[in-house]
Amino acid sequence: MRRRQFIVALGGAAAWPLTASAQERSESRLLAILLHGSRGDPLWERRLASFREELDRLGWVAGRNLRVELRYTGGEYDRLPQLAHELVSLKPDLIFSNTTPAIKALQHETASIPIVFVEVSDPVNAGLVASLPRPASNITGLLFYENSIVGKWLGMLKEIAPFLTRIAFVGTQNGFPYGYFLPTAKMIAPSIGLEIVPLPITSGEDIKRSIETFARDPNGGLLSPNDTTVEENRDLILTLAARYRIPAIYAFRDFVTAGGLMYYGTDLVTHFRRAASYVDRVLRGVNPADLPVEAPRKYETVLNLKTAEALGLQVPPSLLGRADEVIE
């Protein structure tokens, strides 16, 4: 994979320019993007397309008044320091990035270049901002999930599958989402008759081995929070959940549209679009230290009835009535 990477296609739209004339370079602003995900993945292309389209609408057009430097990690955590250093050395006007590990890597490199984030769940305790209303740093952005959402995920699993007694909690070992959500899950689970079984993973092989071992005992469900390694192995997790008939709830919408049972959360395509307004404001002179971190505006529930039927589950009318979308 080349170190300098630009997106090739954005949801059918024309690619962002790879080069700019001398006049354009002198008059345009430089936007650096570090994405903890995989280049060429249609999911990432849709998210970035929504970001680019909103920037266009706000008047920031690549090749006219905006230059873009884009890097993907391929989901590899150990690439973050190198890529963060590489982008900061370009002295961009602003850096847009996702996930707590990526923002921490960028924070290590600069305390002056503005950074706008998405997919960060606890920026205060992670040391990224002083507070949500007033970040008081060069970093701000959009909050993803707070740890209280774990109670909702577990409650929905118990509602759709009352027989469950054990929940596999799958996430990257030593990763932020895993360590952030796991203590809350362990605290809440006993009150609704559940036991949390931690399944720390670092790769697809770990996921396969851990879920196969977990499935040997009955009455098990699965919860995977917003985690890059989990998202990179979506199809494997869905295959294993179907094979071993494990009811599961996911933090990413595309898991359910691809055949998973249930999703509750906030859509990342919308997050990326909203993040463009933060980039716009900072590029126009707003200090990120004074720009409040924005909480999610809407959560949605998506149910896959075909998957529920395959698992032998009867979806309760109360849960069905709350669904924003039902896949049949």
Q: Which residue has the tokens 């002295």?
A: 91
The answer to whether residues 113 and 172 belong to one domain is no
pLDDT at 115: 98
257 occurs within a structural domain: yes
Under the banding of pLDDT at 50, 70 and 90, the label for residue 25 is: low
Radius of gyration of the chain (CA): 20
Q: Determine the angle formed by the axes of helices 80-88 and 100-109, rounding to 10 degrees.
A: 50
pLDDT at 274: 95
Question: pLDDT tens for residues 186-203?
Answer: 999 999 999 999 999 989
Residues 6+ apart with CB under 8 A from 174: 200
The answer to whether residues 153 and 129 belong to one domain is no
Whether 201 contacts 229, CB under 8 Å: yes
The answer to whether residues 204 and 279 belong to one domain is no
The predicted model gives 254-281 an average pLDDT of 94
Q: Which stretch, 104-118, 119-133, 166-180, has highest mean pLDDT? A: 104-118
Q: Say yes or no to pLDDT of 7 above 50.
A: no
Q: Say yes or no to pLDDT of 260 above 50.
A: yes
Where residue 89 sits, what CATH number does that domain have? 3.40.50.2300
9 occurs within a structural domain: no
Q: Say yes or no to pLDDT of 26 above 60.
A: no
Number of domains in the chain: 2
Q: Say yes or no to pLDDT of 22 above 50.
A: no
Report how far residue 178's alpha carbon sits from residue 119's, in angstroms, rounded to the nearest whole number. Answer: 14
Domain with 67 in it: 22-144+268-290
Question: pLDDT tens for residues 46-70?
Answer: 999 999 999 999 999 999 999 999 9
236 occurs within a structural domain: yes
The predicted model gives 84-91 an average pLDDT of 98
Under the banding of pLDDT at 50, 70 and 90, the label for residue 130 is: very high
14 occurs within a structural domain: no
